[in-house]
Structure 1
Amino acid sequence: MRSAAVVGTGLIGTSIALALRGRGVTTYLLDRDPETARTAAGLGAGLAAVPRTPVDLAILAVPPQHVARALHEHQHLNLAHDFTDAASVKAKPQAEAAALGCDLSRYVGGHPMAGREQSGPLAARGDLFQGRPWVLTPAEGAGRRALDRTMELAELCGARPVVMGHEQHDRAVALISHTPHVVASLLAARLLHGDEAELQLAGQGLRDVTRIAGGDAELWTDIIGSNASAVADVLAEIVLDLRVVVEALADLGTGAPERPRISREHLTTALVRGVQGRGRIPAGVVSGPAAAVSGLRLSGAAVGG
Structure 2
Amino acid sequence: MTPTRTVSPVRVVGTGLLGTSVGLGLRRLGVDVLLSDASPSALRLAVDYGAGRAAPAESADAADAADTPVLVVVCVPPDVTARVVAQELAAWPSAIVTDVASVKSGPLDELRAAGVELSRYLGSHPMAGRETGGPLSGRADLFLGRPWVIAQHEGVTVHALQEIEGLALDLGATPIVMTAQEHDASVALVSHVPQIVSSVLASQLLGDDLGATALAGQGLRDVTRVASSDPTLWVQILAANGARVASILRDVARDIDEVAGALEEVDAAGSRRVVAEHLSRGNDGVARIPGKHGKQRDFANLIVMVDDRPGQLARLMTDIGDAAVNIEDFRVEHAQGAEVGLVELAVLPEVRGRLEDGLTALGWRVVE
CA shift, 1:80, in A, is 5.8
Match of 2:106 in 1: 92
Match of 1:50 in 2: 56
Is 1:265 the counterpart of 2:279? The answer is no
CA shift, 1:38, in A, is 1.1
Could you tell me how far apart the structure 2 residues matched to 1:2 and 1:16 are?
A: 13
CA shift, 1:163, in A, is 0.2
Written as runs of structure 1 = structure 2, the 5 A alignment for 1:115-130 is 115-130=129-144
Percentage of pairs with the same residue: 44
Match of 2:45 in 1: 39
Is 1:210 the counterpart of 2:224? The answer is yes
Aligned with 2:283 (options 252, 275, 282): 275
CA RMSD of aligned residues (A): 1.4
Give the SS at the match of 2:150: strand
Give the structure-1-normalised TM-score. 0.89
Match of 1:155 in 2: 169
Is 1:19 the counterpart of 2:25? The answer is yes
Bigger proportion of residues as helix: 1
CA shift, 1:198, in A, is 1.9
**Which residue type is aligned with residue 190 of structure 2?**
I
Match of 1:61 in 2: 75
Which stretches in structure 1 are left out of the alignment for 5+ residues? 287-305
Give the structure-2-normalised TM-score. 0.74
CA contact (8 A) 1:55 1:79 kept: no
Give the SS at the match of 1:168: helix
CA contact (8 A) 1:107 1:138 kept: no
Could you tell me how far apart the structure 1 residues matched to 2:140 and 2:93 are?
A: 24
**Quick check: which has more Rg, 1 or 2?**
2
CA contact (8 A) 1:83 1:107 kept: yes
**Which residue type is aligned with residue 110 of structure 1?**
S
* Deviations 1:13-70 (CA, angstroms, capped at 9, x unpaired): 1001111111111101101101111111111110012352430110011122111100
Change in 2 beyond 3 A, CA 1:179/1:232: same
CA contact (8 A) 2:21 2:140 kept: yes
Runs (4+) of structure 1 moved beyond 3 Å?
none
Match of 2:122 in 1: 108
CA contact (8 A) 1:72 1:101 kept: no
CA contact (8 A) 1:112 1:134 kept: yes
CA shift, 1:79, in A, is 7.3
CA contact (8 A) 1:58 1:79 kept: no
Could you tell me how far apart the structure 1 residues matched to 2:48 and 2:213 are?
A: 40
Could you tell me how far apart the structure 2 residues matched to 1:56 and 1:133 are?
A: 23
Aligned with 2:148 (options 122, 126, 134): 134
**Which residue type is aligned with residue 113 of structure 1?**
M
CA shift, 1:101, in A, is 2.5
Give the SS at the match of 2:176: strand
CA shift, 1:102, in A, is 2.1
Aligned with 1:169 (options 170, 183, 191): 183
Change in 2 beyond 3 A, CA 1:31/1:46: same
Match of 1:74 in 2: 88
Give the SS at the match of 1:107: coil
Aligned residues: 280
Could you tell me how far apart the structure 2 residues matched to 1:195 and 1:40 are?
A: 43
Greater relative contact order: 1 or 2 (C-alpha under 8 angstroms, separation 6 or more)?
A: 1
Match of 1:296 in 2: none
* Deviations 1:221-273 (CA, angstroms, capped at 9, x unpaired): 00011001110111111122112101101101xx4xxx2x4000000001111
Give the SS at the match of 1:104: coil
CA shift, 1:138, in A, is 2.1
* Deviations 1:135-169 (CA, angstroms, capped at 9, x unpaired): 00121000111111111110110100000011110
CA contact (8 A) 1:68 1:100 kept: no
Which stretches in structure 2 are left out of the alignment for 5+ residues? 1-6, 58-62, 295-328, 330-368
CA contact (8 A) 1:71 1:102 kept: no
* Deviations 1:84-115 (CA, angstroms, capped at 9, x unpaired): 01111001110001122222100001000011
**Which residue type is aligned with residue 51 of structure 2?**
A
Could you tell me how far apart the structure 1 residues matched to 2:80 and 2:210 are?
A: 41
